Amino acid sequence: MKKIIIGLSVIFTLAFGFTGCDTDYVKYSGPDYIMFSDTLSVLPVQNNEEYFDIPVAATEACSYDRTLGVEILDKKTNAVEGWHFSLESNTVTIKAGERMANVRIRGIYDNIEITDSLGMVLQLVSKEESKWELYGTETKVILQKVCPFDIHLFEGYALIVTSTYFSSYMQGVSQRLIRTVVDPDSENTIIMKDYFYKGYDLKVKFTTDDLLNPLIEMEDQPFAATTDAFDTIYGDWEVWAYQSGYYISYYSSCERFMLQYMTLHVPGMPAGKDEVGTYINVVKWVSDDEAQILIEEGVNNSIKQ
Phi-psi region of 97 (alpha: psi -120 to 50; beta: other; left: phi over 0): left
pLDDT at 27: 55
pLDDT at 14: 34
In angstroms, the CA 52 to CA 87 distance is 10
State the DSSP string of 192-229: EETSSSTT--EEEEE--S-TT--BEE---EEEEEHHHH
State the DSSP string of 81-130: BTTTEEES-SEEEE-TT--EEEEEEEE-GGG--TT--EEEEEEEE--GGG
Q: Are 141 and 119 in contact (CB under 8 A)?
A: yes
pLDDT at 260: 97
| Residue-wise pLDDT tens digits, 171-225 | 899 999 999 999 999 999 999 999 999 999 999 999 999 999 999 999 999 999 9
For the chain, 305 residues long, the average pLDDT of each consecutive 10-residue run is 37 38 48 89 96 95 94 96 97 96 97 94 85 84 96 97 96 94 98 97 97 96 96 95 95 96 96 92 97 92 70
pLDDT at 29: 56
Residues in the chain: 305
Question: What three-state secondary structure class fits 9?
Answer: helix
How far from the centroid of its chain's Cα atoms is residue 34's Cα?
Answer: 31
Question: What three-state secondary structure class fits 67?
Answer: strand
pLDDT at 236: 95
In angstroms, the CA 199 to CA 202 distance is 10
In angstroms, the CA 70 to CA 77 distance is 14
Q: How is the chain split into domains, by residue range?
A: 9-145, 151-296
Q: What would the CATH number be for the domain defined by 9-145?
A: 2.60.40.1740
DSSP β-bridge partners for residue 101: 56
CA angle 135, 140, 146 (to 5 degrees): 145
Q: How far is CA 160 from CA 150, 286, 289, in A?
A: 20, 10, 17
